[in-house]
Amino acid sequence: MERATFGAGCFWGVEAEFRRMDGVLSTQVGFMGGTLEGPSYTEVRAGDTGHAEVVEIVFDSSRLDYPRLLARFFECHDPTTLNRQGADVGVQYRSVIFYHSKEQRAAAVEARSGVERSGRYRDPVVTEIARAGRFYRAGEYHQQYLAKRELA
């Protein structure tokens, strides 16, 4: 089992994207990358903590490899909008890959470079690649939000 952590805008939809993948064992949404310890959703949403809304994924690497997770990450959001996804604006909605090993970091750099070279986007890819820090789990209300409401 391995972990992967991605920020790609509002974590509700991002989590739903990854939960559907064969080989994903579990997901949870929360916050990472900021300075405030134990942030609440309200604090992160205000945009002053530096945290991003993220989904943490536990996956079976014998069934699903990390590059495939990276491909889904780049498919499920616009990696060219700085601190924004659709109507959600702020550093908490940034495009970010938090890596858990040097192998994940190398794969993330390679995937981002591939997306940049692909010509898929006119604007530059602004996805941040950063070492994973402490994950702060969001409240139960936010976990599998869309699935609980039969929206995903």
pLDDT digit string, tens, across residues 18-76: 999 999 999 999 999 999 999 999 999 999 999 999 999 999 999 999 999 999 999 99
Q: For 89, list phi and psi in degrees, rounded to 5.
A: -125, 135
Top-level class of domain 2-148 = alpha beta
- Whether the pLDDT of residue 151 is over 80: the answer is no
Domain boundaries, the chain: 2-148
Higher pLDDT, 105 or 152: 105
Q: Report yes or no: 30 and 135 within 8 Å, Cβ to Cβ.
A: yes
Positions annotated as catalytic residues are 10
Which tens digits make up the pLDDT trace of 70-113? 999 999 999 999 999 988 999 999 999 999 999 999 999 999 99
In whole angstroms, what is the distance from residue 133 CA to residue 131 CA? 6
User: Residue 81, SS3?
Assistant: coil
What's the confidence (pLDDT) of residue 148? 87
pTM for the model stands at: 0.95
In whole angstroms, what is the distance from residue 50 CA to residue 34 CA? 4
What's the confidence (pLDDT) of residue 150? 79
State how far the alpha carbon of 129 is from the alpha carbons of 25, 70, 105, 111, 144, in Å. 24, 12, 7, 11, 25
- Whether the pLDDT of residue 152 is over 80: the answer is no
Amino acid at site 1: M
Which tens digits make up the pLDDT trace of 109-141? 999 999 999 999 999 999 999 999 999 999 999
**Cβ contacts of 77 within 8 Å, gap of 6 or more:** 8, 9, 14, 85, 95
